[in-house]
Amino acid sequence: MRCILDRFRTIVIAAMLLLSMVDAASAQENVIYVTLDGFRWQELFSGAEERFITKDAGVRDVGALRERFWRQTPEERREVLMPFLWQTIAKNGQIFGDPSRECIAKLTNGHHNCPANGLVGCSKNLIFHGLR
């Protein structure tokens, strides 16, 4: 998990640096699109799930894990799990794709619709459905 978060942080920082090199006076809008293959959207938007913080789920030290990642609300849990994403990126940008808020992210290349990470390499447009 730590490795995934470190890679994610590195990718986002690199993207932010590249974006900062773009001339601020230009009229173009930029989107930084990041995918995390194998990462559950449930943890991204709701943090740790109680059903996975158990001995039956393979956790050796349930107390320590609960102390580190369990909070009362989904917003608190997601922030403690991914602080950089929720304290920096979300506050200075926008996060899309939370199905519980009917904010589904889909990609299209003009010919096909697909889940958010399906056509990353050949996508022409990024469409966000249900923005609120």
Identify the pLDDT of residue 80.
95
CB atoms < 10 A from the CB of 119, how many? Answer: 17
Q: Model confidence over 22-71: pLDDT tens digits?
A: 555 565 666 776 767 777 888 889 999 999 999 999 999 999 999 999 99
Position 107 pLDDT exceeds 90: no
DSSP letter at 128 equals E
What confidence category does residue 131 fall into, taking pLDDT thresholds of 50, 70 and 90? very low
Q: Name residue 104's beta-bridge partners.
A: 129
Q: Model confidence over 61-82: pLDDT tens digits?
A: 999 999 999 999 999 999 999 9
Q: Is pLDDT larger for residue 89 or for residue 111?
A: 89
Q: Is pLDDT larger for residue 4 or for residue 70?
A: 70
Q: Is pLDDT larger for residue 119 or for residue 109?
A: 109
CA distance 35 to 46: 17
* Percentage with pLDDT > 90 across the chain: 30
Which spans in 21-130 are helix H? 41-46, 62-69, 74-81, 83-84, 90-92
